[in-house]
Amino acid sequence: MSNKLTLSASDRISSLLDEASFVEVGAYVTARNTDFNMQENDTPKDGVITGYGVINGKLVYVYSQDATVLGGAIGEMHAKKIAKIYDMAMKVGAPVVGLIDCAGLRLQEATDALNAFGEVYLKQTLASGVIPQITAIFGTCGGGAALIPTLTDFTFMTAEGGKLFVNSPNALDGNYQAKLDTASAAYLSENSSLVDGVFEDDATTLANIRSLVDMLPDNNMEDAESDCTDDLNRIIPNLDGFAKDARAVLQNIADNNVFVEVKKDYAKDMVLGLIKLNGATVGCVANQAADGGELLSTSGAYIAADFVKFCDAFNIPVLTLVNAKGFVATVSNERTIADAAAKLTYAFADATVPKVTVVMGDAFGTAYTIMNSKAIGADMVYAWPCAKIGTMDPEMAVKIMYEKEIAEAADKVAFIAEKKKAYTELQSSALAAAKRGYIDDIIEPDATRKRVIAAFDMLSTKNEERPYKKHGAV
């Protein structure tokens, strides 16, 4: 790969794909419109290079916008080339990767350009859930063009050159770019769910797309599987030391410790990403207690719901790691948490792929229930011995139930400790939940990898029928 910070449109394709594998489609297409100042403008390839190639032997279709041609703006023929790539990808069942550097709508083409946007949107919508769609933003992506990456499954940005916006920072009331750059990769990755990863330069961004493509199936009719070179029975000593760090747990249990994380900078309470277990790709959703994830936020629930729906659409099994005490209690979160929690509940309950849950720490109240519990359809639920599962923290429950007795007790601390111990054993321990059938087994943390692999292997032929419906409405 090139060491240059910014690559040309063609260099980006060359860096993305296996060497000498790119086959261009539509190389001789130019703009059809000759109105206004278009007569004097040469538009080679109409500002976008399209074609196909392979990534580690896997077929992908790709388009790369060329900002040296009318700023990479989208016009009629530009859009038709992208639409053509989508048609080809849908026919053969292969991912589409869009490398974006676009000034937006081509003003010289007016309604032709508007219609062009719509044609691309339609192709993306039809492809959603059928073939994986990935975009990476290397330059400007503004106005109507901002919907293109938003309609895909994954979006990456470069830290310096990438700009994504519907309205530019200078067009926002009371704002200007120097004050707050709302189009920057840093701002968007931390304050919106639009961006899955921000990388320092073009080459690093393209390398991460290659890693992601390796994890994904070609389409919704195929599985994402490869040969496993890791020990299926690998024991991981002291894994329970990471009970609050789900990211570390996922890295440790993954084949060869490879974890492709998405949306790392947004909603710190939730960790999302892809790993391989016994060579099969697994989607991971986990509470990140180390970063405040013991309390579920609106943002965390929304991105987790979207990710589960993506996994279900592409037959990717889902692993959930639970360490949740409740919901974030703030005025701003309260406005939206019920809707977000409902969407996460629906996503887990509606998914028919194999679903395995491991309770690593606290699992209290509704927050536990919606994190892929047995009640909403998890196929297998495991718990570490230290896990606590119940309506709320045992000490808080004791203080509520024994309020009068505590007030009258001579030694309040000893009384609370005694009742807390009894309540935990009877109502809030992993064993208590297992006795009621809500936990399938209590497993040692160091055996988590092999037990989860065994569960997914057992579930590999799962076939779950649901009542007929066009689609849900949640």
């001579």: which residue's tokens? 410
Domain total in the chain: 2
Q: Are residues 247 and 211 in the same domain?
A: no
Is position 291 within any domain? Answer: yes
- Kind of pairing between the strands at 133-142 and 96-102: parallel
Is position 463 within any domain? Answer: no
Q: Identify the pLDDT of residue 2.
A: 42
- H helices present in 66-175, as ranges: 76-92, 110-127, 147-150
Q: Are residues 116 and 246 in the same domain?
A: no
Question: Would you tell me the crossing angle of helices 110-127 and 76-92 to the nearest 10 degrees?
Answer: 10
The sign of the CA dihedral 424, 428, 431, 435 is positive
Q: Are residues 255 and 206 in the same domain?
A: no
Q: Are residues 106 and 189 in the same domain?
A: yes
Is position 3 within any domain? Answer: no
Q: Are residues 206 and 299 in the same domain?
A: no
**Which residues in the chain land under pLDDT 70?**
1-5, 32-42, 392, 423-428
Q: Identify the pLDDT of residue 38.
A: 54
Round to whole Å and give the CA distance between 41 and 60.
Answer: 32
Q: Are residues 201 and 250 in the same domain?
A: no
Is position 410 within any domain? Answer: no
Q: Are residues 77 and 204 in the same domain?
A: yes
Is position 220 within any domain? Answer: no
Concatenated DSSP letters for 4-70? -SS--HHHHHHHHSSTT--EESSTT------SGGGGG---GGGGEEEEEEEETTEEEEEEEE-TTTG
- Token pair for 265: 């900078």
Q: Are residues 274 and 133 in the same domain?
A: no
* CATH number for position 40: 3.90.226.10
- DSSP, collapsed to helix, strand or coil, labels residue 204 as helix
**Residue 367 in contact with residue 388, Cβ under 8 Å?**
no
- Token pair for 160: 């310096």
Concatenated DSSP letters for 196-217? SEEESSHHHHHHHHHHHHHHS-
Q: Are residues 83 and 151 in the same domain?
A: yes
Is position 73 within any domain? Answer: yes
Is position 403 within any domain? Answer: no
Mark residue 216 as left, alpha or beta (left: phi above 0; alpha: psi -120 to 50; beta: remaining).
beta
Question: Would you tell me the crossing angle of helices 448-458 and 246-253 to the nearest 10 degrees?
Answer: 70
Q: Are residues 127 and 200 in the same domain?
A: yes
Q: Of 215, 230, 257, which residue sits at a domain end?
A: 215
**Residue whose C-alpha is closest to residue 86's, from 62, 70, 110:** 62
Strands (E), 391-430: none
CB neighbour class for 167 (10 Å; exposed up to 12, middle 13-18, buried from 19): middle
Strands (E), 297-341: 318-324, 326-327
- DSSP, collapsed to helix, strand or coil, labels residue 284 as strand
Q: Identify the pLDDT of residue 391.
A: 74
- Token pair for 448: 């988590």
Q: How many CB atoms lie within 10 A of CB 443?
A: 18
Structural domain span for residue 267? 239-387+429-458
| pLDDT tens string 412-465 | 788 787 777 776 666 668 888 999 999 999 999 999 999 999 999 999 999 998
Length of the chain: 474
**Residue 228 in contact with residue 271, Cβ under 8 Å?**
no
Which helix (H) or strand (E) segment holds residue 313: the answer is: helix 298-313
Q: Identify the pLDDT of residue 62.
A: 98
**Residue whose C-alpha is closest to residue 216's, from 267, 260, 257, 176:** 260
Q: Identify the pLDDT of residue 294.
A: 87
Q: Are residues 336 and 288 in the same domain?
A: yes
Q: Are residues 50 and 150 in the same domain?
A: yes
Is position 233 within any domain? Answer: no
